[in-house]
Amino acid sequence: MSVEAVEKMGDFGKDADGALVEGRAPDLDLPREMCVLEGPGEPCVLVIFGASGDLAGRKLLPALWNLYLQGGVPQTFAILGCARTPMTDETFRAYTRELLESAGMLKASRWEGFSRLLHYRVLDYGDPEAFKTLGSDLDALDREAHTAGNRVFYLAVPPGIYARTAELLGNSGLSGEGTGRGGWSRIVVEKPFGHDLESAERLDGILHRYFREHQIFRIDHYLAKETVQNILMFRFANAIFEPLWNRRYIDYIAVTAAETLGVEHRAGYYEEAGVLRDMFQNHIMQLLALTAMEPPSIFEAERVRDEKAKAYRALRPFPVDRLDEYLVLGQYGPGVLDGREVPGYREETGVSPDSLTPTFAMMRVFLDNWRWQGVPFYLTSGKRLKAKRTELAIAFKHVPHSMFRQVLGEHISANRLILGIYPEERITLTFQTKNPGAKVCLRTVTMDFNYHQNYTGPVLEAYEKVLIDCILGDQMLFWRQDGVELCWSFLTPILHRCETCGNRAERLLRYPAGSWGPDQAHQLGPVLDSLSDTP
């Protein structure tokens, strides 16, 4: 039966005889450009500091190329790469083309138009005079490209020079907007936003000395994933779920971000950060907030971020004097993953042979508010685990009374809702039905929805979406400073206790690469058991 026929049947998908029929979510068949950029977008220059670095090469330049192909950049637009690496406009264009070719992304017929957008300036991040020269170059580029003085400054540089770069932008007058200068100015900061609460507040102080809050875009690319954005739609646009989304019906919620990769080329950063700073302070906390927050009065950036902040304020202070009851830390050792032997963390290049940096953490937290009182949230992330999986698991309570105990026994599996974020972008709901046959038996069945089912329009990668929002000035998917500080306020006491306790080495549990983490994590909560049971 065609989609058109199903649509004509009405909301319940019934035919003329009233029998239920199978329907599918239709593709709205909108023009591609309507699914990418809302409106033409204001003219602007995107300045990438660190344009010759890893982030720009792997993420930003390919994302900008894809946006260009899909009509996702303003009609009047320029890209200015800045770095210490000596390059000219032409060599930067050749460098970008080589990146795209090696990734299998290049479409030769479109390259000439994109290449004209690319410009480059050699820049010493510690030289005030270089930033004054950059200002003059930007003025000239504005006149040449007709970009109206609008600028996005993207800090694709090491976190240690965020503050200095922002300071030099401010001192050279590049952060100003409004009176005395036409156009707007925005600064984009990648995580990590500090190393703890004190450093986060210090970075914020410097940023706000030169930029106002509406000019600051703190990126967490997890928020731009389609399935993460869908969490709020799923919760607040479906009347069948929101009434059950509370302590009366939910037993526990698990937020899991499991990785198969090891430390890779990030040993220098990871040795200083560890899993709590690398994953919990940003990605995990954002997923927690989206799952736990109250509905905003309107779907608008500040209202949504207000509700996230309320969720963070409701976090019960972590019992650091009883860490063993609420937190498990681990570090991967040698093991087998996908049929090949992989080294342990301490054997990785750039890692200290006696490192005490955790690569796995599982914690049980609570929110002290009306909706969630008494419901545990299990937050888990780790490297070199058995499978790559990012998901939210909502475990509903068991039926209060088993009327089937005489034939089925006392145990009936509880309903479970899984919001798969990556790599399986899907929603699954498990429930109980009678097994066909004469004998009365239950079986667990799954209602399954693939997020991209029957959709043929453009799909934006996370960095493509955040770049569009930076250009449009939409803060919905970005951190606000109070959220950053509230999360650090929660995590800093945990970090301090873990990093200063006398038995730090004993608390760090070894687990083999290719497993689901330390055995002790199974004792903290049921999350890893359910992951282990999933193919």
Half-sphere exposure of 350 (CA within 13 A, CB side): 11
Q: Residue 459 has what pLDDT? A: 75
* Whole-number average pLDDT of the chain: 86
| pLDDT at 87 exceeding the cut of 60 | yes
Backbone angle region of 368, left / alpha / beta, with phi > 0 → left and psi within -120 to 50 → alpha:
beta
pLDDT at 419 over 90: yes
- Write out pLDDT tens, residues 144-194: 999 989 999 999 998 889 999 999 999 999 998 765 667 899 999 988 888
Do residues 248 and 208 lie in contact, with contact meaning Cβ atoms separated by under 8 Å?
no
* Active site residues per annotation: 283
- The answer to whether residue 137 scores a pLDDT higher than 70 is yes
Q: How far apart are CA 448 and CA 418, in angstroms?
A: 10
pLDDT class for 425, splitting at 50, 70, 90?
A: confident
Could you report the per-residue pLDDT of 369-396, keeping only the tens digit for each? 999 999 999 999 999 999 999 999 999 9
Whether the predicted pLDDT of 6 surpasses 60: no
Between 441 and 318, the higher pLDDT residue:
318
Tens digit of pLDDT for each residue in 274-294? 999 999 999 999 999 999 999
- Would you place residue 268 in the very low, low, confident or very high pLDDT band (cuts 50, 70, 90)? confident
| Confidence band of 18 (pLDDT split at 50, 70, 90) | very low
Could you say which DSSP state residue 443 is in? E
Cα-Cα-Cα-Cα dihedral sign, residues 396, 238, 391, 378? negative
391: buried, middle or exposed (CB in 10 Å: 19+, 13-18, 0-12)?
buried
pLDDT at 22: 41
Helix (H, G, I), strand (E, B) or coil at 188: strand
DSSP code for 192? P
Q: Which of 113-122, 395-404, 432-441 has the highest mean pLDDT?
A: 113-122
- The stretch 426-434 carries a mean pLDDT of 84
pLDDT confidence of residue 409: 59
Return the axis-axis angle of helices 162-171 and 128-145, rounded to nearest 10°: 70
Count of CB atoms within 10 A of residue 510's CB?
Answer: 14
> Which residues have a Cβ under 8 Å from the Cβ of 1 and sit 6 or more positions away?
21, 22
> Could you give the percent of the chain with pLDDT greater than 70?
87
Q: Render pLDDT for 66-79 as a digit per residue (tens, 0 to 9).
A: 999 988 889 899 99
pLDDT greater at residue 438 or residue 430: 430
Residue 111, judged by CB atoms within 10 A of its CB (0-12, 13-18, 19+), counts as middle
Q: Where are the alpha helices (DSSP H) in 374-461?
A: 405-408
Residue 21 reports pLDDT greater than 50: no
Asked if residue 440 has pLDDT above 80, the reply is: no
SS3 annotation, 97-154: HHHHHHCCCCCHHHHHHHHCCEEEEECCCCCHHHHHHHHHHHHHHHHHHCCCCCEEEE
Task: Give 26-63 pLDDT, tens digit per residue.
Answer: 554 444 444 556 666 789 999 999 999 999 999 999 99
Q: What angle do CA 347, 351, 352 make, to 5 degrees?
A: 95
Cβ density class 212-251: b for 16+ within 10 Å, e for less: eeebbbbbbbbbbbbbbbbbbebbbeeeeeeeebeeeebb
Report the pLDDT value the prediction gives residue 171, as an integer from 0 to 100.
93
The sign of the dihedral angle between the CA atoms of 496, 497, 502, 508 is: negative
Q: Does position 512 have pLDDT exceeding 90, yes or no?
A: yes
pLDDT for res 181? 64
Residue 186 main-chain phi, psi, to 5 deg = -135, 145
Using the predicted structure, report yes or no on whether residue 10 has a pLDDT greater than 50: no
| Measured CA angle at 115 (ends 113, 121), to 5 deg | 145
CA 334 to CA 229: how far, in whole Å?
A: 36
Per-residue pLDDT, 424 = 82
In this prediction the pTM is 0.87
Distance CA 405, CA 104 (A): 59
Cα four-point dihedral sign 106, 262, 526, 242:
negative
Do residues 172 and 65 make contact, with C-beta atoms less than 8 angstroms apart?
no
Gyration radius of the chain's alpha carbons = 25
**296 CA to centre of own chain:** 21
